[in-house]
Structure formats: C-alpha cells, structure tokens
Structure 1
Amino acid sequence: MKKLCIFFLTIILLVGMTGCGNKVTNDPITLTMWHVYGSQTESPLNVMIDEFNQTKGKESGIVISVVSVTNSTAIDDALIASANNEPGAVPMPDLFTAYPRVAEEIGLDRLLDWSGYLSEEERSAYVDEFLAEGVIDGRLVMLPIAKSTELLFLNKTIFDRFAADTGVSEEELLHFESLFALCCQYYDWSGGAEMFQINDFYHYFLVNVSGLGGQFIRNGKPDLCSAEFEQAYLPMARAAIHGGLCTGDGYASDRWKTAEVISNIGSTAGMLYLRDYVTYQDNTTEEIETAVYPYPTFSDASPVVIQRGTGLFSMKSEDERKNRAAAIFGKWITQKEHNLDFVIASGYLPVTENAFSALFSNIDMIENEKSHMLYGAVDQMYGSYSFCPLPLYDASGEAQSRFEETAKSILSAAHRDYISRIERGDDPETVMSELLDSSLSEIQEAVER
C-alpha cells in the first residue's frame, strides 16, 4: 500500500509538470501515459516522446503526456488498482506499457484492439513472434515497441583476479554446469562472497527445462516434478546452498554497485544500470571493466533464451480521436529510424523486420562500447537460440512471483543450515546431499499447495 501511495503521489506531481507543449490546433488531443522505460536512469522513451511531441505530434495535434515512469511490478499494481477503482487510485492513463499478464485484470473489452488501426502491410512489418505475443483471444491488445532477452554480465576486473589465483577461465561461464561450480569456488576463494545472481529464477527454469526437452508450465502451473526440472535444479541449488549464488531479493544491478556480486544473468536493458565502477564497504571506489556473454546453456541442451519486454496498451476511448491518436503514436515509435534510436539507447531489440535486420547487419554503427558488446552477444545467439516468450495463463504473474519467493526463501534457509552444520563438523557432502533432496521436496510441495 505504501508503494502504491508513493506511485500515485508521483503521478500527481508529474501531471503538473508535463504535457505543456505548444498547442498547434484549437482542440489538441492529449494522451496521458505511464511506462517502465528508465525508472532508475534517464528515460530513453521520454526522449523519443519529446521528439514525437515536437514533430509528428505537433503536426497531428497530439500531445503525449508522461505522468509516471516506474518498474513493471509497480505499474502492474497501480494499473490494477486504477482499473478496479480502489481507494486512493488515480484514473487510468490513456496509454501504458506492461506485460500481457495485466490485460485480463484490466478487462480485454476496455483495451484498444490495435488491429483495427493497422493495415495488413503495417502488420506484416513487425517480427511475427513479437506481434503474436500481444494477441489475446484474437485481439491485438499489446503493440510491441521494444523487446529484450537475457545475457550474462561480468565484472571482469574482479573475475580476472579470481582467475589468476585459481586458474579458472571465462570459458567456464558459458555452460551452467561449470558456471555453478565457479560460484562455489569463488565463495571459498573470497571468504564467503557471492559471485553470481540470476535476476529471475522463473525465467531460468522456463528456458532451461525447455532446452533440456521438458515443459516448465503444464496445465496452467509450474511443473516441478519432471526429470528436466531436476536436472536444471540440482547444480543451481548446489551453488546456492554452498554459497556463491545469490538468493536475495532485488536486482543484481544494486549488488553490482558494491561488488556484492560480480556476475549476473539479466535483461539486455539491465546494461543501463551497470556502473563502470564499484564502491566498496570502506567507501573506496574502483573502475571496472565489464564483459558481456551470450546466455549460458547446459552442455547437452538446445540453446533457449527468454523473449521478454513490455508492450504498448491503449485504453479504448469513446472519443475516436483518442484511439486514432494512440495509433499514430504507436506507428511512429515503431518506424525503423525511431525504433532503432529508442532501442539502442535503452538496450532493447527492435520490433520490425527491417529495423532488426538493419541493426544486426551493421553492429559497427553502434558507437557506445558497452552497447556494442551487448548487441554483439545477442548477435552470437541470433539464429542458433530459440526465443521463448513468457507463457500466459490464469494468474501467471502471481504464480511467477510466488515461485520466485518460494525458491529463494527455501534455498536461503538451506544455505544457512549448510553453513551451520559444516561449522559443527558434519561431513560437507553428506549435508549437501540431504539439503539438495529436502529443498527440492520443499519447493515442490510449496508450489503444489
């Protein structure tokens, strides 16, 4: 509730400061917007919206007024509160970005079907898989404006010290079996520090169970009883229980700042939040070198990686001018030159075939060194990895959050138990074997309830 209050107060303040562009008609259309692109840094989407307002918007008598920039979890809660007219909630925005999981909570009949405003030629310009993700019950309610995937990010400066002392190599980061083994080695080498964080355990199991030939979501809920789930679980759990794999809450970008972790799997857009220096507990700082790698795989698995990213929704208005204005903006932001400017500035992937081809046929056009590394890593995956969108089923968002919290809580407790028993003199491998079995059973039982 406190987070919602802060969210809505922010909206009230921003409403007074935005949407004051020069009027070009006697009756311009103003569309309010909430979005998630840049809640912790300067927003690349706000830059594009300013450009739209000064060009196409000015020409068409349309003003996009951004009244909230937040994260995907906060925007879900706020949208649902507003859609349900909960006490203290502010009115729904005209436009917002979100994952498809919120569509049914808001009501499909309340959302604009973009299909009615796109010609067949315009629809065919989008990457098929990206457009298909926004179709629910035959209605195109989410227009793709940017997509992302997941990569492995590394603080190479500290890793190189670890490698020099232990003889490990960066090649061991490319497969999960060796990566999780590195976590344990790093924990011992560093005196108890965590090396690696997976921002989304749910994503990890979704893509790796699939890559191993299984199916993580079955009959509308996670299936934790398959051989493929166990194969993905055991090496990951060993690293978490021994130490070295972070099971704490929050994003790796926060721990990256203080070198509490030196590597993580996260969204391509997470590159925005990875600083080029770290601040240690004694308040000293050190510049670091960052490296980016393709998403790791299991040695005997097909390479699969997540397809993620919010899309653009519009509330259906009785004023048809608003619906047409939303469509004009949606088309503008996904035109090749605008889409490339937006996604390259924010670490996302373009959503039309021609923009996608233009980017990956000439990565050298990207001047920023970190962005160049990022798209180079994506390019290594493109064509050989399968891209897996998040499955949509009843209460999928709630199921994802519950799984994440359950897995982290159980593995954190298992790590504490492991350390306690080892300090008492118990045999480490015997304790590890017991905790691997018991933690797996606990997670299976908790998800089944």
Structure 2
Amino acid sequence: MKRTRIVILILLCTILAIPGCSGKNSFDPRSPVIITLWHNYGGQMEKSMNDLVEEFNRTVGNEQGIIINITSVSSSSALYEKIVAAAEGNPGASPLPNITTGYPKSAYALIKNDKLVDLKEYFSESELDEYLPQFIAEGTISDKLAVLPTAKSTEVLFLNKTLFDSFSAATGISIDQLTTFEGISEAAIKYYEWTDSQTPDIPGDGKAFYTADSWFNTAQVGMNQLGDDFIVNETLNLSRNYKRIWDSYFEAAVKGGIVVYDGYSSDLAKTGDIVCSIGSTAGILFYGSTITYPDNTIENVEYEILPYPVFEGGNKAAIQRGGGMIVTKSTKEKEYASAVFLKWFTTPEQNMRFISETGYIPVTKRAFETVIDDYINKAENDNIKKLLKTALTMYNEYEFYIPPIFDDFDNIEKTYTDRLKSAAINARKEYLSLLTERNSDQAYEEVYNRAFEDFVGLYESHQ
C-alpha cells in the first residue's frame, strides 16, 4: 500500500507538472512560460514597474524559464471593470491575466466566479510571516489569501511649509497645532481671517487653509481613533462621537478655512490655494517645489510631510490603502510561475526600489526595520525622503484601519461625500448672507444646528 501511494504521488507530480513538487521547477528556459500581468500604475510608478519586470525577465525569469508580459490599464476603476467583465465571461471581454493589481473588491469579484487562486497554496507560513500581518489580513477573504501586498499606502498631512511659516510668524499658530484635527480646524479659520485682513478694501476674500482628498476616510479613521465604528451593519453610525468629526470639518468649511473641492488637493497646492491637505502617500509625486499663482508668478516652496492627524484624546490610527497582486486560476504551472515572480518582486530589495520612487510604503517587516533607512539616505527627491521618514514613524507608532468590504460600500461613500459637501456649500451661502445682520458667531450658530439636524435626518429617513 505504501509503495502504491508513492507511485501515485510521482504520477500526480508528473501529470500536473507542478513546479516545486520535488523542490525544483520544471520550466524550460528554451520554451519559457508566459505570464500576463495587468496593472494600473502611471507615470513614475509605471516606469518603476516596467524596469523591475524587465530585470526579472533578464535574470531570474531567464534562468527559470518565466517571462512576465505586462499590460497597463488607464485607471484603477477601468482595471476593476475589466477584471469583473473577464471573470463573468462577458461578451467581448479580454481573457483574465495570470496576475493583476487590484483591491479586495476585485478579489471578491473573482472569488464569486471561482477564478481566484488562494496564494497560501504557493507561499509557506514562514514566507508569509515576512509580510506585515495587517497587510496579509487585509488581503485575506473567506480564509483565502486573495491579495498579496506589494505596495501599500496610507494618508498623511502635506504641508506647504513656506506658506505656513509666514502665517505662523504673523499669528503664532505653531506646526504642533496641526497634529490634531481640532487644531487644524482652528488654524484654518484663523488663516482665512488673516488672509482676508490683508486686503481691508476687499472684504470676504480670505483664502482656504486646508482640505482632504477623502472626507469619508476622515470619518472612518476619526471614529476608529475615538474607539467607535463609522460603519455598523453596512450603515453609517452618526452617533455622539461622529459629531466631533462633523464639528472639525463643518465650522472651518462654513467660515472659509476649508475648501470644498471635487478634485485632488494637489491641484490646489500647485497654485497656492491651500496650505495643507490630507491625501494618500502615493500622491507625493504630484507635489513639487514650486507653486504658480494666477498671474503666472512662480514661488519656490518647501513641503513637510507630517503624520496623520489625531482627534484630541484619540488613538493614533490611519487608514491602510493601496492594493496588491491577485493571481487568477489557470494551470498549476502558470500559478506557480506567478508566485515565483511575486516572491521576487516583494523581497525587501526589489520592493524598496519600487516604492522608494513612488510614494508607496513597503510590505515586509525587514524592509521597515532595516532596509528603509538606507533608502531614506539615498533618496534624491526631498519630498520622498521626508515621506519615508514619516512612514517609518507611523509604522512604529500607529495602528492601521482597514475599511470593510461589502457590495454597497462605494455607493455609501459617494452618497456621504456628496451630502457632506452639499451641506457645507449651502450653509456657507446662508452664513455669508446672515453676516449682513449678525456677527460671525451668531450667523454660524444659526446655520450649524439646522444643517446638522438636516444631515442626520437624511439618514434617519432611509433607515
């Protein structure tokens, strides 16, 4: 019986041609296996990706008989749509790639169509232990390792130090005040008043100080910092703790210190229309060393990259963002070859080369604990250098919040953001009209109570 089992095992290894069954791969460099990879990186990120894939094909891939063939897709949303269409076998859809960049929701679509590889089949426990556990946890769906972390991001505070220093010297607002959301809100109101006072003959022309790329993320993380949940049973929790998130945004937005904007905050930073903003670390490449004013005057500026702000009395927490790599079902040979590439791509050396030029953060413990210091010292871009230092600080001091995954998540996010912005825009219009007959505090108090009640009422009426 024992001999029969051994024979069966040998036959299975031969028939399935599973590389690694005997500890060696079975690829033939003279007839390499082709692995297709879709990604949505652009600009410098695309260049870094292309360079690393070319190096793999020239070295490890050439030795082992693996070639990675990459296709760039214009955006993460376009890539998601392609993945879903391919997974569902829609008419005209492209065949699924062997590897794709993606988020947990992309993996979820593949799981529903039985098209996803559980990467636990190709990574040992000791290999997975090299990655940050929270990154592995985010990519695990239904006990399957669906998304391997390859490059992560979080959110930080981008500060135009040149503009801030002038404001600080005139008002006494210090950079330490920007460590809390309440401090940022107060600074934003004072900045609007300060810039407005510089043109006494033109009342009401103050400038905004701050914005965030995702107010939904601010609410999610803010509630987490306060020991609460923003999303409960796939609905929003607008409890007492949420009112603190609302207050930190609403007053400064109504009084002009926070700008309500539909684009990315980096666009406003380039023209000096804001002093600071919260955005993804992956957006660092959009912050340069100059700002261009409407009259085409160019000013050299310096940026600081500060850790994510915390609500007063709250825990240090920030959102965990960024996707990873997903392997789709094909042949055992191609699945194994895909894993070979991903292991190479996420070793600290390769991973740091990729993320150190893009604004992403590394995914392994060793990269954070030993390799990152060398790349900080070698970074030529000052903003990248500052970003990596801040990322290291947050790695040591912060907990990272992982948003939930469910079908209606994107719709809830969009609805919340639209309603929040609309409430602020309408309230500011009313506030400005009331200033003709009331002082600032009276005008704000009148619009505040009604706006919050109306905002909460929109959700209560649909529950």
**What TM-score do you get using the length of structure 1 for normalisation?**
0.87
8 Å Cα contact 1:269/1:348 also seen in 2? yes
| Superposition deviation, residue 362 in structure 1 | 5.5
- The 5 Å alignment of 1:159-174 reads 159-174=164-179
Structure 1 residues 242-251 or 70-79, which shifts more? 70-79
Query: 2:420 is aligned with what amino acid?
Result: A
Who is 2:147 aligned against? 142
| Superposition deviation, residue 337 in structure 1 | 1.0
Aligned pair count reads 423
Who is 1:376 aligned against? 389
8 Å Cα contact 1:148/1:348 also seen in 2? yes
| Superposition deviation, residue 87 in structure 1 | 6.7
Among residues 264, 267, 270, which one is paired with 1:254 in the alignment? 267
Runs of 4+ aligned structure 1 residues displaced above 6 Å come to none
| Superposition deviation, residue 180 in structure 1 | 0.6
Who is 1:234 aligned against? 247
| Superposition deviation, residue 88 in structure 1 | 6.4
- The 5 Å alignment of 1:2-41 reads 25-38=29-42
8 Å Cα contact 1:421/1:431 also seen in 2? yes
Q: Does 1:52 align with 2:56?
A: yes
* Percent identity of paired positions between Structure 1 and Structure 2: 35
1:76 and 1:39 map into 2 onto residues whose CA distance is 19
1:88 and 1:419 map into 2 onto residues whose CA distance is 54
Who is 2:230 aligned against? 216
8 Å Cα contact 1:277/1:285 also seen in 2? yes
User: Using a 3 Å threshold, how does the CA distance of structure 1 residues 354 and 179 change in structure 2: closer, same or farther?
Assistant: same
- The 5 Å alignment of 1:312-351 reads 312-317=325-330, 319-351=331-363
- The 5 Å alignment of 1:50-449 reads 50-84=54-88, 89-108=93-112, 109-190=114-195, 191-224=205-238, 226-317=239-330, 319-359=331-371, 364-368=376-380, 369-422=382-435, 424-447=436-459, 449=462
2:265 and 2:127 map into 1 onto residues whose CA distance is 38
Query: 2:245 is aligned with what amino acid?
Result: A
2:86 and 2:452 map into 1 onto residues whose CA distance is 39
8 Å Cα contact 2:139/2:148 also seen in 1? yes
1:416 and 1:57 map into 2 onto residues whose CA distance is 61
What are the Cα deviations for residues 110-143 of structure 1, in whole angstroms up to 9, with x where unaligned?
A: 1111111111221222111111111111111100
1:76 and 1:404 map into 2 onto residues whose CA distance is 22
8 Å Cα contact 1:147/1:349 also seen in 2? yes
8 Å Cα contact 2:223/2:229 also seen in 1? yes
1:47 and 1:290 map into 2 onto residues whose CA distance is 29
Query: 1:430 is aligned with what amino acid?
Result: Q
1:85 and 1:433 map into 2 onto residues whose CA distance is 56
8 Å Cα contact 1:152/1:266 also seen in 2? yes
Q: Which runs of 5+ in 1 are unaligned?
A: 1-23
Structure with max Cα Rg: 2
Q: Secondary structure at the match of 1:382?
A: helix
8 Å Cα contact 1:37/1:44 also seen in 2? no
8 Å Cα contact 1:134/1:144 also seen in 2? yes
1:275 and 1:419 map into 2 onto residues whose CA distance is 35
Q: Which runs of 5+ in 2 are unaligned?
A: 1-27, 196-204
Query: 2:361 is aligned with what amino acid?
Result: L
Who is 2:6 aligned against? none
Query: 1:356 is aligned with what amino acid?
Result: F
What are the Cα deviations for residues 365-387 of structure 1, in whole angstroms up to 9, with x where unaligned?
A: 34333222112223333333221
CA RMSD of aligned residues (A): 2.3
Structure 1 residues 439-448 or 250-259, which shifts more? 439-448
